[in-house]
């Protein structure tokens, strides 16, 4: 069980739950269950939850955007390796993508990759490991094979993947242990100043 307990199904808006189950059935939810979106469903803004579900759908078997399903899948899998998200690493949204290409995506080399894929994955590695090294020349190189809209989509996809991937890693999604934070948790009654003094963050 993840460290934050997913919202129970009977507490999730029925339309959102139907969409979550559709994502599982279509293979667009890599974990094969609704745990991750039911964690997101704790968020107080239902519109944001719907946006997150749409994002999952567009990065799954639908492909989505202008980058294409294959590149988006390579980016997703390389991101999973870079952030250490085991649940994402095990999932495969594109059954036609050879494991050789996936291996190349992770290490960043190999004949299996096109020039667009190679540059996109190199950009992703820099974003993860050394974003200070991204300069004007980096964008000039991207512009040799990507349109302006594609570069923006690429940057946004990488940034979103990094954030969610790192958060998923901290949640320990494949854990068999009990959740650290129950779904209905509220802090013990104490003053705000006491909370600030005792906060480990």
pLDDT in tens, 106-165: 555 556 789 999 999 999 999 999 999 999 999 999 999 999 999 999 998 899 889 888
CA distance 123 to 143: 12
> Which residue stretches of the chain have pLDDT < 70?
30-31, 59-64, 86-111, 189-201
Q: Which homologous superfamily is 9-171 in?
A: AhpD-like (1.20.1290.10)
Q: State residue 8's pLDDT score.
A: 95
Q: State residue 97's pLDDT score.
A: 63
**Residues whose CB is less than 8 angstroms from the CB of residue 179 and which lie 6 or more positions away in sequence, other chains included:** 1, 2, 3, 4, 5
**Residues whose CB is less than 8 angstroms from the CB of residue 154 and which lie 6 or more positions away in sequence, other chains included:** 67, 75, 120, 123, 142, 146
No. of helices (H) and no. of strands (E), the chain: 10, 0
Q: State residue 4's pLDDT score.
A: 95
Residue spans of the domains in the chain: they are 9-171
Is residue 154 exposed (0-12), middle (13-18) or buried (19+ Cβ within 10 Å)? buried
Q: State residue 196's pLDDT score.
A: 60
Q: State residue 46's pLDDT score.
A: 84
Q: State residue 136's pLDDT score.
A: 96
Q: State residue 68's pLDDT score.
A: 84
CA distance 69 to 60: 8
Q: State residue 52's pLDDT score.
A: 83
**Residue pair 65/128 in contact by the 8 Å Cβ criterion:** no
């Amino acid at each position: 069980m993840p460290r934050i307990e997913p919202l129970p199904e009977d507490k999730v808006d029925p339309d959102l739950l139907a969409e979550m189950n559709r994502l599982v059935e279509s293979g667009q939810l890599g974990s094969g269950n609704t745990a991750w979106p039911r964690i997101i469903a704790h968020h107080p803004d239902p519109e944001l939850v719907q946006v997150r579900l749409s994002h999952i759908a567009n990065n799954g078997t639908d492909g989505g955007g202008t980058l294409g399903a294959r590149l988006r899948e390579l980016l997703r899998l390389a991101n999973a390796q870079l952030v250490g998200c085991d649940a994402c690493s095990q999932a495969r949204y594109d059954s036609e993508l050879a494991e050789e290409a996936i291996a190349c995506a992770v290490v960043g080399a190999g004949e299996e990759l096109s020039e667009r894929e190679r540059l996109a994955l190199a950009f992703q590695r820099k974003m993860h490991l050394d974003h200070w090294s991204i300069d004007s020349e980096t964008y000039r190189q991207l512009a040799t094979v990507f349109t302006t809209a594609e570069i923006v989509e690429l940057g946004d996809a990488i940034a979103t993947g990094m954030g969610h991937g790192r958060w998923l890693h901290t949640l320990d999604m494949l854990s068999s242990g009990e959740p650290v934070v129950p779904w209905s948790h509220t802090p013990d009654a104490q003053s705000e100043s006491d909370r600030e003094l005792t906060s480990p963050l």
